[in-house]
Amino acid sequence: MSCRDLPRSLPICATVCLILSASLFGQEPTGGGTLIRDITGGAAIIFRAPKDPVVHIASTVQNAAGGGKTKDKKQEPPKPVVRKQDPIIARANAARNAPQPRYAEAEAQYRLAAAVAPDDARSFAGLGNVYVDQGRFADAADAYKQALKVKQDYNAALLPLAFSLARLERYQESIEIYQEALKVEPSNPEILNNLSFAYNHTNRYQEAVDAALAAIKFLGDTGQAYRQGFQERSETLSYAYKNLGNAYNGMNRYEDAANALKRAAEIEPTNASAHFNLGLTLYNAGRYSEAIEAYRQVIKLRPTLAQAHYNLGITYFAVSDRKQAMDEYELLKTMNPAMAQELYKLLKQ
């Protein structure tokens, strides 16, 4: 899967990866057993595939003395000045955007453009884009950093660099870059949302709350207040509420967390990770019957997600419904035998 697919696939992939990274052991015990957790928001980061560097095949120079304009209507048209790297960057862009992307060719062309004009940040940013498309986030981060080294105010490199660092779990570095991006676009809710995500991952929960609330304020309650042009506004708003809920979870403010995550699930009802985190939150708040409904919703969306069946079995155990818990165990046996065995040990206590 390339990162071009991430705007749709990221909520599923990132959530599952984070759940799996917790394994089955060493988790925080609550209520009737030990849940598999995902309360730091594995999928609550907004991603937009970075745009190609802009290519100016021809620019102009002024013929008037001093470079200024002249009132002489008989002045000859300005002569075009073509930069050597522009057609090379254009070829690289075309290779990246081919129906079947030719990444090796694109990479080679961006590198050639950088060799021809090492003082042009666009070549390095384009190289970073090719790496992001392929999920090569360490290489992407290096390329974007080089672009910013060449041109400090090359803002097009900031967001994909911060995203790459976040995917590498280098959250403190990611926060620093998102903060720089926020100086350029202080009203951009996607930046604020992603800051909240990174703050959650560094246990800076109050800052995560503040950033998420700011994102929600700019988006409006429906997301309609924000300008066109970015990812779907409802998705951004849902993610902001999800990060808000995750931050409240980190502060043990479970009622506030439940309200935020319910809002996230209402806005984007097909986001399985929002329902999963809602189930965790309601469980932690001792609201087991509501947690059961949340996990049922996850399973409706993703019937073979073993982690949801496991947590649902735990929640049934918490309300002493051993029959339903055993039903989840039977389903789990075919999905994840190790997870099923852990649930069985609990049910036999």
Q: Give residue limits of the domains in the chain.
A: 83-184
* Mean pLDDT to the nearest integer, 232-250: 86
Q: How many other CB atoms are there within 10 angstroms of residue 296's CB atom?
A: 15
**Could you tell me if 336 and 306 are in contact, meaning their C-beta atoms sit under 8 angstroms apart?**
yes
Q: State residue 19's pLDDT score.
A: 32
Alpha-carbon gap, residue 250 to 200, rounded angstroms: 8
Please return the burial class of 72, using the count of CB atoms within 10 Å of its CB with bins 0-12, 13-18 and 19+.
Answer: exposed
- At 98, the amino acid letter reads A
Q: State residue 349's pLDDT score.
A: 76
Using the predicted structure, report yes or no on whether residue 16 has a pLDDT greater than 70: no
Q: State residue 134's pLDDT score.
A: 95
DSSP-assigned beta bridge partners for residue 30:
33
Using the predicted structure, report yes or no on whether residue 190 has a pLDDT greater than 60: yes
Alpha-carbon gap, residue 189 to 209, rounded angstroms: 13
Using the predicted structure, report yes or no on whether residue 305 has a pLDDT greater than 60: yes
**Could you tell me if 260 and 245 are in contact, meaning their C-beta atoms sit under 8 angstroms apart?**
yes
Alpha-carbon gap, residue 129 to 11, rounded angstroms: 21
Residue 5, Cα to own-chain centre: how many angstroms? 12
Q: State residue 43's pLDDT score.
A: 54
Terminal CA-to-CA distance of the chain, rounded, Å?
43
Using the predicted structure, report yes or no on whether residue 187 has a pLDDT greater than 50: yes
Query: Can you read off the two tokens belonging to residue 325?
Result: 């818990």
pTM: 0.77
Q: What is the DSSP letter of 229?
A: S
Q: Give the model confidence (pLDDT) of 267-290 as tens digits.
A: 888 888 889 989 988 998 899 999
Binning pLDDT at 50, 70 and 90, where does residue 139 land? very high
**Could you tell me if 186 and 174 are in contact, meaning their C-beta atoms sit under 8 angstroms apart?**
no
Higher pLDDT, 261 or 71: 261
- At 246, the amino acid letter reads N
Alpha-carbon gap, residue 54 to 92, rounded angstroms: 12
Q: State residue 91's pLDDT score.
A: 96
* Mean pLDDT to the nearest integer, 113-129: 96
Q: State residue 8's pLDDT score.
A: 31
Q: State residue 30's pLDDT score.
A: 43
Query: Can you read off the two tokens belonging to residue 257?
Result: 């967390």
Query: Can you read off the two tokens belonging to residue 146?
Result: 């080089």
In what helix (H) or strand (E) does residue 255 lie, and over which residues does it extend? helix 254-267
Nearest to 8 by CA among 260, 205, 190, 271: 271
Extended beta strands in the chain, E state: 29-30, 33-34, 59-60, 80-81
Q: Give the model confidence (pLDDT) of 44-98 as tens digits.
A: 788 888 999 998 765 444 433 344 454 555 566 665 566 899 999 999 999 999 9
Binning pLDDT at 50, 70 and 90, where does residue 111 land? very high
DSSP-assigned beta bridge partners for residue 33:
30
**Could you tell me if 311 and 281 are in contact, meaning their C-beta atoms sit under 8 angstroms apart?**
no
- Residue 226: C-alpha distances to residues 46, 267, 342 (Å): 15, 15, 46
Q: Give the model confidence (pLDDT) of 311-325 as tens digits.
A: 999 999 999 999 999
Residue keyed to tokens 């982690």: 307
Q: State residue 331's pLDDT score.
A: 94
**CATH 1.25.40.10 for the 83-184 domain, yes or no:** yes
**Could you tell me if 35 and 348 are in contact, meaning their C-beta atoms sit under 8 angstroms apart?**
no
Q: Around 165, how many Cα atoms within 13 Å sit in the side-chain half-sphere?
A: 24
Using the predicted structure, report yes or no on whether residue 119 has a pLDDT greater than 80: yes
Q: Give the model confidence (pLDDT) of 24-51 as tens digits.
A: 323 443 445 556 555 334 457 888 889 9
Query: Can you read off the two tokens belonging to residue 106?
Result: 């694109």
Query: Can you read off the two tokens belonging to residue 108?
Result: 């080679």
Q: State residue 80's pLDDT score.
A: 54
